[in-house]
Structure 1
Amino acid sequence: MPITLHNPENVFPPYRNYSHAVEVKGDSQILFISGLNGYEHDGQTMPESFEEQGELIWKHIGSILSSAGLTYQHIVSIRTYLADPSFDEVNVKLRMKYLGNHRPSLTVICCQLLEKKWKLEVEVIAAR
C-alpha cells in the first residue's frame, strides 16, 4: 500500500520530525492530517486572536487536502483541541464556514496546548 507524505510549500514548514499529512492509497484513499496550528507561512509568525489562528488553520487544511486531490467535503473526522472552552462558539462558526452542510465525525477537547500562544489545534482525516 503506497504511503505519500504531504507538506505543501504554502503551509508552514513541519517542525520536530513529522509531516503535515500522510496519505494511504489502496482501493481507497485515506489522508491523515496532523494537528495544525495557526502559524503563518513562515512557520514563525502567529496572529494573537482565536479567529485569525482558526482561519489560517482551515486554509492550511484546504491546502493539504488539495495537495492530495481532495476537498473539505472529503473530511470524515475532525479532532479540535481548544485552549479554552470560551472559544467553542467561534470554533463552530469557523467549521461551518469551511464545511457548510458537510457533517464529518467530530471531537472537541479543551486542554492546555503545547505552546501558550496557540489558541487551538485541529487534526483531520479525509477519505474517498
Structure 2
Amino acid sequence: MKTIIQSEKAPAPIGPYSQAVKAGPFLYVSGQIALDPATGQLVTINIIREANQVMENIGAILRAAGLGYEHIVKTCIFLKDMNDFGTVNEVYGEYFKGDFPARETVQVSKLPKEVNVEISVIAYQS
C-alpha cells in the first residue's frame, strides 16, 4: 500500500508526479528544486540560497510525513556544475547532525527550469 504525501509548505509538483510517496516504512521524496512555495518563484540568487531552499522544501515534505532529516537514508544530488560541489556540500551538511545518509552527487547537463541543483531523498522510519 502506498500513501501520497503532499505539503503546502513545499512547491507543488511541476509535472505528473507526487511530492512524495510513502510505501511501508520508506518515504520517497521527488527531486526538489529551489522553488519558493509561498511565491512560486525560483530562488537562484546564488548557489547557497538555492541549495538552502531545496533543503527547506525537502524538510517541509518530511514534516508532512511526520519525519525529519534524521530519517533520510539515501540522497541523490544533481548539479549543473560540479564546481558548486563544495558549496552545496557545505549547505547540505548543515541539515544533518551525524549518521549521514548514503549519497551520490552527479553533474548533469540540464535541470528543470534551468536550476543549478536538484535533490531527491529516501527516508526510513522503523
* TM-score normalised to structure 2 length: 0.91
Counterparts of 2:113 and 2:35, CA distance in 1: 13
Say whether the 8 Å CA contact 1:37–1:122 is kept in structure 2.
Answer: yes
Q: Which amino acid aligns with 1:7?
A: Q
Say whether the 8 Å CA contact 1:78–1:104 is kept in structure 2.
Answer: yes
Shift of 1:8: 0.2
**Per-residue displacement from partner, 1:28-71 (whole Å, max 9, x unpaired)?**
x1000011100011574112211111111111111111111111
Counterparts of 1:114 and 1:85, CA distance in 2: 13
Shift of 1:12: 1.1
Counterparts of 1:55 and 1:30, CA distance in 2: 24
Counterparts of 1:122 and 1:5, CA distance in 2: 19
Q: Which runs of 4+ in 1 moved over 4 A?
A: none
The one of 36, 48, 51 aligned to 2:48: 51
Question: Which consecutive unaligned segments of at least 5 residues does structure 1 have?
Answer: none
Question: Which consecutive unaligned segments of at least 5 residues does structure 2 have?
Answer: none
Q: Which amino acid aligns with 1:71?
A: G
Whether 1:127 and 2:124 are equivalent positions in the alignment is yes
Per the alignment, residue 17 of structure 2 pairs with: 18
Say whether the 8 Å CA contact 1:54–1:120 is kept in structure 2.
Answer: yes
Per the alignment, residue 90 of structure 2 pairs with: 93
Counterparts of 1:116 and 1:83, CA distance in 2: 12
Percent identical pairs in the alignment equals: 25
Per the alignment, residue 64 of structure 2 pairs with: 67
Say whether the 8 Å CA contact 1:113–1:120 is kept in structure 2.
Answer: no
How many residues are paired up? 124
Q: Counterpart of 1:109 in 2: which secondary structure?
A: strand
Closer/same/farther in 2, CA of residues 31 and 108 from structure 1, 3 Å limit:
same
Shift of 1:10: 0.9
Shift of 1:114: 3.0
For 1:1-40, list aligned pairs within 5 A: 2-25=1-24, 29-40=25-36
**Per-residue displacement from partner, 1:67-125 (whole Å, max 9, x unpaired)?**
11111010000000000011001111111100121311100000122346301000000
